Chain A
Amino acid sequence: MAAGIARAWDWFWANPWIKTATRPPVYLSLAFLTLGGFVAGVAFWGAFNTALEATNTEKFCTSCHEMESNVFEELKGTIHFTNRSGVRATCPDCHVPHQWTNKIARKMQASKEVWGHIFGSIDTREKFLALRRHLADREWARMKANDSLECRNCHSSESMDLTKQNPRAASAHERFLFTGEKTCIDCHKGIAHRLPDMSGVPGWQ
């Protein structure tokens, strides 16, 4: 065991790249390396965030025909697309967490979706419909787990005025939302896209 570690240690330090990297610079000045490193860091971070934001737009999401011809088409008829006040919830508003750490985590999970796009797992309407319940289940589970965070980014229960709601909605929110018994997604399923086969989903029959 100890011998193995010692061998790995020696092998690591014997690597010519490691040797070069750990030696002081011979040709480049300290100023160049620090300032250059700073500029390169700014450029990298800027590019990273620009790319992150570019992949967080409705335009990017609907550039894949899977999204454009299925879920985006269905969103168009709903209140989250057009409404009296002209505020639109775009794809990432509901499907990507706004907070940085959670956003990166979701982006990493979304690499599976790139895989799905490349290998065409839902590249026809039939394939999409066949997988719709699975896709919906995953999204419902995600929103249930984070207490409908993406809903609450806009609709917070603190700023909800029950007197402005109709009595039916007000009493439902009072009984289930404010007591924490249920979260938004428990009742408000299929508000932005059509529903899959709902057999076996609690609250549906």
Chain B
Amino acid sequence: MRRLAFACLLSLVPCLTAGVILAQEAPRLRGPDPFTKEIPAPPMQRQVTNDVRVRRNYPDQPPVIPHAIEGYAVDLNANKCMSCHARKFTEQSQAPMISVTHYQDRDGNTLGGLAPRRYVCVSCHVPQTTASPLVENRFTDMDALTEPERQPARGR
């Protein structure tokens, strides 16, 4: 009985060690200080407002907003984004039109106007700041993955 208990405890050791090691490896988003200590907030980062369209990382990615949107109304009364990005205003604004998917409800029926579920633009489309990523990003572009496979096919 005593031996069994000892064996059980012994078998826990690798798990605990691994836990400790992994915990040290895990990214700490709030920095090295313990959570009990109140640390001053980092300075706010500047928004990227250079109006240059940013490539999407994957085809379904909602495009990011390359301009300032401070004070833009998106509420029950008004949607400022649509003053430029709605189909009928794109000629005078020269802004990209909202995609056709935004005129469809969840069942794929095309509606006369912006679908209610797409109304709150900033739930998907967001402006960017100059902040550097808190953790390393190991995302690989789809093209970078598929290109080696596509190349031999082209050669044939």
Contact = CB atoms under 8 A, between A and B. Distances in A.
A51 B140 CA distance: 69
A205 B49 contact: no
If over half of B's interface residues share one DSSP class (helix, strand or loop), that class is named, otherwise mixed; here it is: loop
Interface string B49-87: 111000000000000000100110101111110110010
Contact of B51 (A168, A175, A190, A198): A168
B99 to A, nearest CB: 17
Contact of A204 (B75, B78, B92): B78
B93 interface: yes
Contacts of A97: none
Interface residues of A, number: 21
Interface string A170-205: 011001100000000001001100111110000111
A166 interface: yes
A197 B51 CA distance: 29
Contacts of B50: 166
A56 B113 CA distance: 44
21 contacts: A77-B71, A79-B70, A79-B71, A166-B49, A166-B51, A168-B51, A172-B93, A175-B92, A187-B83, A190-B78, A190-B80, A191-B71, A195-B78, A196-B77, A197-B76, A204-B79, A204-B83, A205-B79, A205-B83, A205-B113, A205-B114
If over half of A's interface residues share one DSSP class (helix, strand or loop), that class is named, otherwise mixed; here it is: loop
A163 to B, nearest CB: 14
Chain B: interface residue count, which band?
Answer: 20 to 34
Nearest to A172: B93
B44 to A, nearest CB: 12
B78 A168 contact: no
A173 to B, nearest CB: 13
B113 to A, nearest CB: 7
Given A194-B75, A198-B77, 5 more contacts: A172-B93, A190-B80, A195-B78, A197-B78, A205-B113
Contacts of A167: 51
Interface string A151-168: 000000000000000111
